[in-house]
Structure formats: C-alpha cells, structure tokens
Amino acid sequence: MSRVSFQGLAAALRLMHMARPSRPPGFDMTYRPTESAFGPPFAARIPSLLYLAVALAGVAIVIAAEHSSSNSWLYANVVERGVRGIISARSCAGLLLMGAISSFLRTNMRGVRVRGDGVDYRDSSLGWPRARRFKWAQIDRIVLDMPSHIALDLWDGTRSFLPAVDDRAALAMVLEKVGHARAIPVRGGIGLDEMPEEGEFDGEEA
C-alpha cells in the first residue's frame, strides 16, 4: 500500500470515530440564546451555610464576652483565656468569619451559565475551583438522559459533565432549545413546545 493511500485511510478512520462528521451549514451558526445562569442546588449550599452560622455564633459569643463583667464565666473563659493563648478570641472569631464568608461566596459562584456564544461552568474539586467554557461549535452532542448530570460530548471525543444545578429541568430545556436551533444533536430531552424567537438569530458569532 502506498504512503498516500495509507494517509487517506487514516483520515477516513478518524472521521469514522467522530460522533458527527459535519453540520448542516447556515442557520445553526446564527442562533444566540438569551444569557441565563443556574446556581448550585440547595443541598450543596448547606455546608457553607452551617459554617457561616457557626462563625456568626462565635463572633456573637466573643462580643458578649467582651461586654460582660470581668468575673463572669464568659469573660474568664473567652477573653482572659484568649489573652493567655497564642491568638486572642477576637482574632480567632475574625478569622473564622472570614473563612465562612469565603466558603459561602465560593459555593454560590458554582453553577452553569448559558451565554450567547457558548456555555461555561464553575465547580470545585477537593476545594480547588475549576472553570471551563465551551463554544457552541465545540459541542458535538448534548446528553440530557443521564439520571443526575447533563453532559456535553465535544468534537475532540471527550465528554464533559456539567455540575448539578438547582433547576436541572430548566437548564435541560435551554440546552435542548439551543441544540435544535443550532443543529446540535440532543440525546434525551422532552421536546420543544415553542420555536426560538426570530430576534435571537443575528447572524453573528462572538
């Protein structure tokens, strides 16, 4: 077999492994959905809310101890013991509150945002933040029939799982609408009750 024939065969095999060799031209590149955001589910917020409640309780105890009489139990065990320790009670409460606020804000930054030119998400793994963004042209298929997560099959053959959100049904509906409008295959879904608005087709790609 010649070198040219071998290269042609290799290219054909790569095309066979792609989920979709081509897209219909034209309208699929003009649809830009209205931007919408989906935050994390309430269960994911509970740890940070508990942390914040404990921190606020700690700050309240320190304030109450500092304003109590010098022979009270609170003053003796919070203020005086803090002075003799490595770090004062006020500093400890302040650090605890700062950590709780940081955790609360970090939790509420998680979620999925659907933009006109694509979709991006923010999540955390072992406390380390992670953010990714995909253009619509990078998405080969939208997978909606999984029990807990929504997945995106990409042109490079990989699959990216979107984080859990508070309103999974609404996110699935938005992505299904985008998939039908931009000729992106959708696996699962409930079907569309309405077609995209004419004003959402602008012929521009950001």
Is the pTM higher than 0.85? The answer reads no
Q: What is the pLDDT of residues 137-167, one digit of tens each?
A: 899 999 998 888 899 999 999 999 998 899 9
Q: What is the pLDDT of residues 14-64, one digit of tens each?
A: 444 444 544 444 445 567 888 899 988 898 889 999 999 999 999 999 988
What structural domains does the chain harbor?
21-40+117-192 (2.30.29), 44-107 (no CATH)
Per DSSP, helices labelled H in the chain are 3-17, 42-66, 73-74, 81-84, 89-108, 168-181
Q: Which helix (H) or strand (E) holds 124?
A: strand 118-125
